[in-house]
Amino acid sequence: MLEVLDGGWLTTIQDLGRPGYERYGIPVSGAMDFFALRVANGLVGNPPGAAGLEITLVGPVLAATAPCLVAVTGADLTFRVDGREMPMWMSVFVRRGSVISFGGRRRGCRAYLAVAGGIEVPPVLGSRSTYLPGRFGGWEGRALRAGDRLPIGPVSGHLPERAGRRFPPHRLPAYSDCPTVRAVPGPQDDHFPPEGLETFFGAEYRVSPTSDRMGYRLEGPPVARRRAEIISDGVPPGAVQVPPDGQPIVMMADHQTTGGYPKIATVITADRPLLAQCVPGESRIRFAAVDIAEAQRRYRETMEMLERSWE
């Protein structure tokens, strides 16, 4: 097991989510940065969707009750084992009794820790992801805290021999405090006048301090609209809603399944990891318009690249 000595600021168990239940009002949830979690799992030999830890801004302190193989990806929160800094994006052998900790944030927002065997909490609706608003999944539906003991699945082979596997640096996402993310206009871009679209795709927006796993509220030039609201319809991940105040909201992992604000654009799947690493209250973002064919091409490239990394 991994014993939690300190839960950090917000550490939850996440996998790749629970698709298929949106019609019941249940979000997919899962890792905000799916790329980082998939890589962490690959480094320790897990399936891509194995459950790991999503660590936000301030990391936890964990004690290994048995030898284990771990990897940390995503944000650089100064990953340490027994006080010694360890490399990220690489599998690391941890001895029994060792302490995993994080020394402080250098860049990014969310780190991901995978352990060989995966974290084997009971699945809820086919997923081990924590959905905080619903208080289910993960560890008792909440963030981790001191005293929690996380069960790890069985592993085979000699763990020390599997340490040192690295993810190629040239294949890392272009994480940034000021990313430009690509978005497909619509599905309700016709609800906005030309000047509204020009503002949205031309301005820089600050990620509001009130942002969370449900949505990123943006602060910047208001987007003009033709119509105030629409009949509620489905809301996909990455959708950008524009409420009456004209300040866009990007739907993130725990977003609601339906909504009545018009959606000016939808961030492409391949660029959602860039958003996940934006820090509320600090990061700024811009949007670039692309068509559906480009969005699909970028997604295929991302998934093919991930698969090639383990060949």
Sequence-distant contacts of 209-212: CB under 8 A, at least 24 apart: 209/280, 209/281, 210/280, 211/280, 212/252, 212/254, 212/280
Tokens 């990220």 correspond to what residue? 88
Identify the pLDDT of residue 124.
97
Check residue 64 and give its pLDDT: 97
Q: Cα separation of 260 and 249, whole Å? A: 13
Sheet of 61-64, strands arranged across: 84-85, 79-81, 99-102, 61-64, 2-6, 149-150
Given a cut of 70, is residue 206 above it in pLDDT?
A: yes
d(CA 240, CA 223): 11
Reply yes or no on whether the pLDDT at 38 is more than 70: yes
Mean pLDDT across the chain: 96
Q: Are 43 and 91 in contact (CB under 8 A)?
A: yes
Q: Is pLDDT of 135 > 90? A: yes
Q: What is the mean pLDDT of residues 185-190?
A: 94
CB 238 within 8 A of CB 250: yes
Please report which confidence band the pLDDT of residue 84 belongs to, taking 50, 70 and 90 as the band edges: very high
Check pLDDT > 90 for residue 26: yes
Looking at residues 23-32, what average pLDDT do you find?
96
- Do the beta carbons of residue 238 and residue 184 sit within 8 Å? no
CA distances to 62, 143, 145, 146, 308 from 4, rounded to whole Å, are: 5, 11, 7, 5, 34
Q: Is there a contact between 48 and 41 (Cβ–Cβ < 8 Å)?
A: yes
First-to-last C-alpha distance (Å) of the chain: 30
Can you give the residue ranges of every domain in the chain? 2-171, 180-308
CA 100 – CA 90 distance, rounded (Å): 15
Q: Which residues pair with 218 in a beta bridge?
A: 207
Is the torsion defined by CA of 74, 77, 81, 87 positive or negative? positive
**pLDDT at residue 156, rounded to an integer:** 82
Using DSSP's 3-state secondary structure scheme, residue 13 falls into strand
Whole-model pTM: value is 0.96
Give the mean model confidence (pLDDT) for residues 47-56: 97
Q: Given phi > 0 = left and psi -120 to 50 = alpha, else beta, which region is 123?
A: beta
Q: What would the mean pLDDT of 223-236 be, rounded to a whole number? A: 88
Measured CA to CA, the distance from residue 308 to residue 120 in angstroms comes to: 27
- 180-308 adopts what CATH topology? Cyclophilin (2.40.100)
* pLDDT above 70 (res 311): no
What average pLDDT does this structure show over 269-282? 97
Provide mean pLDDT across the span 46-73: 97
pLDDT top residue among 26 and 158: 26
pLDDT confidence band for 230 (50 / 70 / 90): confident
Peptide bond into 187 cis (omega under 30): yes
For a pLDDT cut of 90, what percent of the chain falls above it? 94
What is the pLDDT confidence band of residue 229, given thresholds at 50, 70 and 90? confident
Q: Mean pLDDT throughout 93-98? A: 97
